[in-house]
Structure 1
Amino acid sequence: MHDVDIVGIGKRYGGRSVLRDMAFSLRPGELFGFVGGNGAGKTTTMRIVLGVLAPDAGEVRWHGEPITFESRRRIGYMPEERGLYPKMGVLDQLSHLAELHGLPRRKARAASRYWAGRLGLSERLGDEVGHLSLGNQQRVQLAAALVHDPRLLVLDEPFSGLDPTAVDVMTEALREKAAEGVPVIFSSHQLDLVERICDRVGIISGGRMEACGTIGELRGETAVRLVVDAPDAPADWAGGLDGVRVTRHEGTRTHLELAAGADDQAVLRAALDTGPVHEFAREQPPLSELYRGVVEQRTASTGETAAPATATAPLRSAA
């Protein structure tokens, strides 16, 4: 059973449609990556899940029922824009936010200390948030989303601006919640990170969910690609093989694409005929390439401009 179902959501601002029949589900204990270009509709979708915005069509269901005010108190939300009180101390701020979600004061203080420690902020509990580095402010913001023991996490660009150590700390915290059965949905422009940690990924473009699934499912029936390192092979060693196309050379490594039905063992035999083979491996397209393929396909069918993407620092802001 799904924890959350987003069912046919539509949203318009004036004459502009920003969400069109948006539909997907969140499963218990999964990390769900939500990726898309500028203005794609990610943040609008998240705000509708939270009840900050009302959809013009469709609905959000939690465990099969419409989300209510009470159920929304069990959601942990981290906005892309920092929503913290800059002159308030870390511990006082986290405790205050936990109490707003219904925790008694003593439990709120204990939970605040736990999550501050879990996210590497134990030495900063008395510091005003405004005096912290941007990375530590981001950690406080995540702690604020976690402090009331939420049953759903909705995070908008939680890894933005973090160094690798902070990314690892936050990733482990999210995995900890997922291991408890809490679904986690987060948007990110760091597609390599999404590919590495997420169970499933949703690709949104033009207000629609264009593709959704595991990385393996998104790769689907893509062409088989091989990389072969045969240091003694001439440059054209694979040119005469049936159903095999050379895509590029990198030193002694040759990158190949095989048509449906082409025999990869024939490729290996041809490489061995030239001498030693130091590498023979199948290449898998990264999420950044899958993203571009999905968006370009949609662009070709609609005539809209595609949003750019790279694996590390692609699409700078969310819709």
Structure 2
Amino acid sequence: MVANYTGMKSFLILGFPGLSPQYYAPVAALFVFIYLVIAAGNIFILAFVAYEKSLQKPTYLVFCHLALNDLTFGTVTLPKIISKYLFGDSIVPFYGCLVQMFFVHYLGSATSFILLVMALDRFIAICIPLRYPVLITNNIITVLCGFAWFIPLPLMVAVVLFVISLSYCKSNLIAQCYCDHISITSQACGEDVRTVELTSLCVAMFCLLLPLTFIFFSYFSIIVVILKMSNATGRRKTLSTCTPQIFITCLFYLPRCFVYVAYKIGFSFSLDVRILLILLYSLFPAAVNPLIYCFKTQDIKQTLIKKMKMTWMGIELNIR
């Protein structure tokens, strides 16, 4: 399949079109800070779980896959927009933009399937606990997460090939902070554009709604099981084991559902507000998830506290 574009050698990232130049430096600094938070938090989770043998359990291996996804997403999207506001470099080569588009949508789709694996882990642990040691092992979780990474891969490659096949005769302006499918295809023309848009929408719905259906079923079943427990302490303890997963899932899905529903009921946003909302639901979970892992997961929190106490005692002994 050969690209059919005329003079479209590059795209121009607009970022926030209504932003005054005097705010470019503070916005760049904010994006740098966000990236450092994403990188530090997710690298810490990956390193901490790898170092602590006691945390190398199925639940935390899923956290690691999600942390790797979040780290990669921040690395793919933020450097270019930082470069725009820091150095005035807004140009992205045509194929470079397509590569970024691929990773943006591929990583988002992979997140959905990783969240599905996370929900499956909690569903079996709470609803059929006696079977958990047999059904959920480190090897099985690794295979399931491997499928979560693989399933969207051929689909997103197909989407990119469809986009490459379009003719581009409009402007080369990307009204977004990174290249995404809507921004790129909006600059295309011809009879095939509508077909490509519908195909991509079907792929997106498959990658988002299929996992969401099972996730909803899993957590609904978990809540039913918890409510049936007669012991209040047991209910709280059981609920606490899946609270991080519920928070993480809500952070990923709820903002997307809000934007979609708002659009469907006719509530319109200005271009800058729409871009800000997309950035928030894209980057906020990647920055916040490591905090949820640390403060809402008992094993990680207790291990961290233990390590901090040992470090503090070691410092006091050295001082003495």
What TM-score do the two structures reach when normalised by structure 1? 0.22
- The structure that has the greater radius of gyration is 1
Higher-helix-fraction structure: 2
Larger RCO of the pair (alpha carbons < 8 Å, separation 6+): 2
